[in-house]
Amino acid sequence: MTDVFSRTELLLGNELFQKLRNKKIVIFGLGGVGGAVCEGIARLGISNLALFDFDIIQPSNLNRLISADGNDVGKMKTQAAKERTLSINPDAKIEIFNEFIDGENYEDTIAQISPDFIVDAIDSLNPKIKTLKKLARGKIKFISSMGAGGRMDPSQVRIGALSDVKGCGLASRIKRVLRNDGIDISKIKTAYSEETPVKPFPAQKNDSPQRGRTRGTQASCITVPVTFGMFIAHYILAELIKDCKNTAQL
């Protein structure tokens, strides 16, 4: 039992912990939510990660990006997340991909990784929808983050079906497209907030470069994105434990 994860191993038991640490998790997007998921997974002792993001860390990211500090400004988000994860778990095996997942490159990417679980923390609408279509029609377990920006109250964060999400503009647009495409949105698990968000502000000069449609600047603070991340990390843990127990019964 290593000192770093000894308390986790006590909680889960040695046999289950050893099975879990060998699982592989993919995270699409390493912003406030995705970075927090990465942190949670790292501290659970799960040692195989594939991290995707094309963005560079800006000073304006540091108010909510738990995987980075001031020394990381100018680095790729993937590199900063890898370094932080290895500082927690030096034995972790981390693949980083400085690319934009948009649904078009999904199948080839997943084929070479073969993950046990996928996290969609993409914050661009059209790439997120394209990726969710692939995820919903595939066989790999996944969870998708809805909008965390413009909110402050972590007590209103929930895990539930996409069909249950209300008051989230991002979720509303996604639901409409997926329904029209014949996808059962009640079977898509999400992290979301019941808090009414503040509206985006005009784009700020210090924003990260954008792809696709022009978007305003979404106000944010650390409390809600990090709570999304920890809820997602717990959901992944619970699902992987369920898988391990079901496999043991076969």
Residue 57 burial by Cβ neighbours in a 10 Å radius (0-12, 13-18, 19+):
buried
What share of the chain in percent tops pLDDT 90? 82
Question: Closest by alpha carbon to 227, among 28, 100, 64, 94?
Answer: 64
Structural domain count of the chain? 1
pLDDT tens-digit readout, 7-47: 999 999 999 999 999 999 999 999 999 999 999 999 999 99
Q: Within a domain: residue 171? A: yes
Of the pLDDT bands very low, low, confident and very high (cuts 50, 70, 90), residue 210 is: low
Q: Within a domain: residue 84? A: yes
Q: What are phi and psi of 109, to 5 degrees?
A: -65, -50
Q: Within a domain: residue 118? A: yes
pLDDT tens-digit readout, 168-188: 999 999 999 999 999 999 999
- The CATH number of whichever domain residue 142 belongs to comes to 3.40.50.720
- The residue segments making up the domain with residue 137 are 6-202+216-249
Q: How remote is the C-alpha of 90 from its chain's centroid?
A: 21
Provide the whole-model pTM: 0.93
Q: Within a domain: residue 107? A: yes
Q: Within a domain: residue 111? A: yes
Q: Which residue has the tokens 């997943």?
A: 110
Q: Within a domain: residue 158? A: yes
Mean local confidence (pLDDT), 219-234 = 96
C-alpha to C-alpha distance for 201 and 150, rounded to whole angstroms: 10
Q: Within a domain: residue 71? A: yes
**What residues contact 36, with CB distance under 8 A and at least 6 apart?**
66, 67, 225, 226, 228, 229, 230, 232, 233
Q: Within a domain: residue 211? A: no
Radius of gyration of the chain (CA): 17
